[in-house]
Amino acid sequence: MRVLIIGSGGREHALACSLAASPSLTKLYVAPGNAGTALVAENVQIGVVDVPALVEFAIAQKIDLVMPGPEAPLVSGIADALAEAGIRCCGPTAAAAMLEGSKSFTKEIADAAGVPTAAWERFDDAAAAHEFVRRKGAPIVVKADGLAAGKGVVVAQSVEEAQAAITAMMEDESLGEAGASLVIEECMVGPELSLFALCDGLTAIPLGVAQDHKRVGEGDTGPNTGGMGAIAPPPFVTPALIEHVMARIIRPTLAEMHARGTPFRGILFAGLMITEHGPKLIEYNVRFGDPECEALLPRLQSDLLPVLIAACDGKLDTVELQWKNEASAVVIMAARGYPGDYVKHSKIRGLDAAGQVPGVRIFHSGTEMRGDDLLSSGGRVLAVCGTGADLRQALARAYQAIDLIDWPEGFCRRDIGWQAIMHE
Ligand code: AMP
Ligand code: GLY
């Protein structure tokens, strides 16, 4: 099997490591990749949204499977273009990727499928949105309908805060087109959980559950980031909870998408809140999370490649996944200044020693080689994954490895997984 992964982060490095271990792999490319993916695959200098160039490459190289990492190529229609070329793509069509591209679309699907989610309304008009918020009161959640790179959600604790968000998104166009319409919804309370499911259009199988750490600072303070760490699985999750989410949220969504003629294939990432009335859907993404992927894949015992192929070929009903009985934790090392302006091209040493810690894998999120030097090339730079018998051991191993990494310009949160352990 000849495989092309699209993306350049830790998620794609983790995918590349899993696929590189498959006995049925014959060639692996990553476009554009990073210094980590170059160790297990051949990097190709094509950008993630250059759909025509990616498809042309896949045809010329007789690729059997394309695995997109981020949502951008999916929203841009890479699955549609590859289908026309007769090449498998483990990701949704542009129509099905609307589950990530539009919040109101997801809410409509959820309502039609009977999926529990926060009560909501959509607004194209600022005056009506202001009036709604005045009537409902706070707390209340204001969301840009379109893709807003993680900046489109305000959980407002007061009516004034909600109104400021409406003004910024709709009237001041702070998020451009993404804020042209808004979803305003009921504020839910409870622990958050992400569930990942692999889907073939009709069948979905769980790939695991994880908790992300979005804020840059310890104790969940400071600005939002792409994610500073993840644990999988959170200790409170039971097999019954996973089955409940599959039965009440994932499968009804899949059935509704199929009934509408836009079946969902690929990885469905459900952001959930475990409320006192049970799990409710916050949002969907149409891809693996980063860093959740780096925490989930090291737990997988089964060969990943035939499973992704089965998802593309509509044969997931024949797949039974085997998992290691281990906990997993990922701690992100980022360049100082992230998520604002960060230090660039600083030298990283000590990865070989850090990678020797038992149960540890180091995935590259933003790195490049210059001569013999490994340099940072992004905000999030390394994803250090520890696995162990329980979450404590997984975390201890990840931090033991981090302490061996010599990178003065880097930092990490020291409290990843701490809340989960406190509540164990
Ligand atoms: P989203 O981009 O939709 O995942 O929202 C980002 C974050 O905002 C979520 O991870 C939640 O912490 C929070 N959030 C979103 N919707 C709600 C809601 N209805 N109630 C409470 N918190 C929410
Ligand atoms: N870590 C969250 C995401 O990938 O969207």
Q: Counting atoms of ligand 2 from 1, which one is nearest the CA of 287? A: 4
Q: Is 290 in the pocket of ligand 2 (CB under 6 A)?
A: yes
Closest CA to 211 of 43, 72, 345, 329: 329
Helix (H, G, I), strand (E, B) or coil at 160: helix
Quote the pLDDT of residue 355.
Answer: 97
Q: What is the pTM of this model?
A: 0.96
Q: Is 154 in the pocket of ligand 1 (CB under 6 A)?
A: no
Ligand 2 centre to CA of 291 (Å) is 7
Measured from the alpha carbon of residue 107, the closest ligand is 1
Q: Counting atoms of ligand 2 from 1, which one is nearest the CA of 288? A: 4
Q: Is 185 in the pocket of ligand 1 (CB under 6 A)?
A: yes
**CB neighbours of residue 288 within 10 Å:** 27
With 0-12 / 13-18 / 19 or more C-beta atoms within 10 angstroms meaning exposed / middle / buried, residue 116 is middle
| Ligand 2, pocket-test mutation among 75, 196, 269, most atoms within 8 A of CB | 269
The class (CATH top level) of 192-318 is alpha beta
With 0-12 / 13-18 / 19 or more C-beta atoms within 10 angstroms meaning exposed / middle / buried, residue 61 is middle
Nearest residue (by CA) to ligand 2, atom 2, is: 289
Enumerate the domain spans of the chain: 2-89, 119-186, 192-318, 327-422
- pLDDT over 80 at 368, yes or no: yes
- pLDDT over 90 at 58, yes or no: yes
List, edge to edge, every strand of the sheet that includes 347-348. 347-348, 373-376, 367-370
- pLDDT over 80 at 424, yes or no: no
Closest CA to 72 of 12, 2, 16, 1: 12
Q: Is 12 in the pocket of ligand 2 (CB under 6 A)?
A: no
User: For residue 175, what pLDDT band results from cuts at 50, 70 and 90?
Assistant: confident
Question: Rounded distance, CA 376 to CA 227, Å?
Answer: 17
Topology, domain 327-422: Glycinamide Ribonucleotide Synthetase; Chain A, domain 4 (3.90.600)
DSSP code, position 198: E
Nearest residue (by CA) to ligand 2, atom 5, is: 289
| Ligand 1, pocket-test mutation among 141, 185, 286, 419, most atoms within 8 A of CB | 141
Closest CA to 323 of 188, 151, 205: 205
For the chain, the distance separating the N- and C-terminal CA atoms, rounded to the nearest angstrom, is 43
Mean pLDDT value of segment 396-404: 98
- Over residues 264-311, the pLDDT tens digits come to 999 999 999 999 999 999 999 999 999 999 999 999 999 999 999 999
CATH 3.10.129.10 fits 119-186, yes or no: no
Question: Rounded distance, CA 190 to CA 280, Å?
Answer: 10
Topology, domain 2-89: Rossmann fold (3.40.50)
Mean pLDDT value of segment 324-332: 97
- Over residues 2-46, the pLDDT tens digits come to 999 999 999 999 999 999 999 999 999 999 999 999 999 999 999
| Ligand 2, pocket-test mutation among 153, 282, 285, 363, most atoms within 8 A of CB | 285
- pLDDT over 90 at 195, yes or no: yes
